[in-house]
Amino acid sequence: MRFQRERRLRVRAEFDRVFKKGRRIGGRFFVLLALPNGRPENRVGLAVSRKVGNAVTRNRARRLLREGFRRLERPEEQGLDLVLVAGRDIVGRSQAEVEGELRDRVRRLFDRSGSRCRPASASD
């Protein structure tokens, strides 16, 4: 089953906006960037560079991150654009490890900012 189009960041400008204005939370396996998007659903973009490994390794990292995002969804956490930037340490990790870290990063995101992610300027 494909990841629905409306649930993905697809245009470079969308990624750039999150990179420039989003809140950044680092982790062992990836960096999470988040920015409110004014939509009813969360969207995700994945950034996996060649530093992570060969094509097979990068695709595995993308699958782990995408599935983690899919399982993470909760109604109270709607309206965010998330970019997940994979790090080298994601190689060889299990789905449970990646999901655990993703849950942890999202929890930190909401703990730091009260109820919502509030970057300096969310109006763009």
Contact 95, 64 (CB under 8 A): yes
Beta-carbon count within 10 A of 43 CB: 21
Contact 20, 57 (CB under 8 A): no
pTM: 0.83
Domain boundaries, the chain: 5-112
The size of the chain, in residues, is: 124
pLDDT in tens, the chain (124 residues): 567 788 889 999 999 999 999 999 998 999 999 999 988 888 999 999 999 999 999 999 999 999 998 888 665 567 899 999 999 999 999 999 999 999 999 888 877 655 555 544 444 4
Architecture of domain 5-112: 2-Layer Sandwich (3.30)
